[in-house]
Amino acid sequence: MKKKQLQRLKKQLKNSKKSPRQVKPTSYIGQITHYAELFSYFPQIKYLTNNVIEADRLLKQGLLPQPLPKLLLPDNIQDVIFQFLNDRYPQGDHQGDVLWEKYSAALPKLDKLLRDFRDYLENTYGMWSYTNFAFINALSQYLDGQPVLEIMAGNGYISKGLRDKNPFQTIYTTDSKAWVKENETGKHPVTEVETLTAVAAIQKYGQQVKFVIMSWAPDKDESDYQILKLLREQFPNVRFLVIGERNGATNSKRFWQLAQLSQPAELKAINQALTSFDLIDEQVYLVE
The CATH number of 126-287 is: 3.40.50.150
Give the pTM: 0.85
What confidence tens digit (pLDDT) does each residue in 96-132 have?
889 999 998 999 999 999 999 999 999 999 999 999 9
**Residue-level pLDDT at 16:** 44
Q: Give me the residue spans of the domains in the chain.
A: 3-124, 126-287
CB neighbourhood size of 19 (10 A): 8
The closest alpha carbon to 213, from 131, 117, 126, 119, belongs to 131
What confidence tens digit (pLDDT) does each residue in 40-63 have?
999 999 999 999 999 999 999 999
pLDDT band for position 1 (cuts 50, 70, 90): very low
Please tell me the distance from the alpha carbon of residue 135 to that of residue 141, in angstroms, as a whole number.
Answer: 10
The closest alpha carbon to 118, from 110, 127, 106, belongs to 127
Spacing of C-alpha 160 from chain mean position: 17
In percent, the amount of the chain with pLDDT more than 70 equals: 88
What confidence tens digit (pLDDT) does each residue in 167-216 have?
999 999 999 988 766 666 667 899 999 999 999 999 999 999 999 999 99
**Residue-level pLDDT at 13:** 47
